[in-house]
Amino acid sequence: MHEVTMASRPRLRSQARLQWDSVRQKRVLLSPEGVLLLNATADAILALCDGQRSVSGIAADLSSRYNHVVDQEVLAFFNRLLQKRLIECDDET
């Protein structure tokens, strides 16, 4: 499988839906037969995942607001989402 790189511009696939869960008081990512309960970090990353920003752009944006944002962790998170077929990327390469 292709991997997400720092230059990739990920976006949620049309079958995935991000929404607020009022019972658990957190955002969730729903897909066919799938539920991902998002922690604060995952939530902040996905809020910037729009198909326009690159992974490095998202990581830079987050590090301007939070301490300890590690590029490789953001990248690993997107690769997990890619494996679950929750995101897609148009890579310019």
Partner 1 sequence: MTMRHNPLGLLAELTYRCPLHCPYCSNPLNLGDHRSELTSEEWFRVLNEAHALGVLQLHLSGGEPLQRRDLLEIVEQARKLGFYTNLITSALSLTPVKAEQLKEAGLDHIQISIQAADSTLSDRIAGTPSYQRKIEAARTVKKLGFPLTLNVVLHRWNIDQVAEIVALAEELAADRLELANTQYYGWAWHNRASLLPTWEQLQRAEVSVRDARARLAEQMQIIYVIPDYYSRYPKPCMGGWGRQQLTVTPNGNVLPCPAAAQITALPIENVRQHSLSWIWYDSPMFNRYRGSDWLPEPCHSCPRQAIDFGGCRCQAFQLTGDAAVTDPVCELSPNHAMITNAVRAVNQLSEPARATAKVTPTFNYRFRTGDRRP
Question: Contact, 31 vs 15, CB < 8 A?
Answer: yes
Report how far residue 64's alpha carbon sits from residue 13's, in angstroms, rounded to the nearest whole number: 27
The reply on whether position 93 binds partner 1 by CB under 8 A is no
The reply on whether position 14 binds partner 1 by CB under 8 A is yes
Among 11, 26, 31, 48, binds partner 1 (CB under 8 A): 31
From the number of C-beta atoms within 10 Å of its C-beta (0-12, 13-18, 19+), residue 64 rates as exposed
Q: Which residue has the tokens 């987050």?
A: 62
Report how far residue 73's alpha carbon sits from residue 41's, in angstroms, rounded to the nearest whole number: 10
The reply on whether position 11 binds partner 1 by CB under 8 A is no
The reply on whether position 23 binds partner 1 by CB under 8 A is yes
The reply on whether position 18 binds partner 1 by CB under 8 A is no
Using the rule CB under 8 A, give the single segment among 32-40, 49-57, 58-66, 73-81 that binds partner 1: 32-40
Question: Would you tell me which residues interact with partner 1 (CB under 8 A)?
Answer: 1-2, 14-15, 17, 19, 21, 23-24, 28, 30-33, 35, 84-85
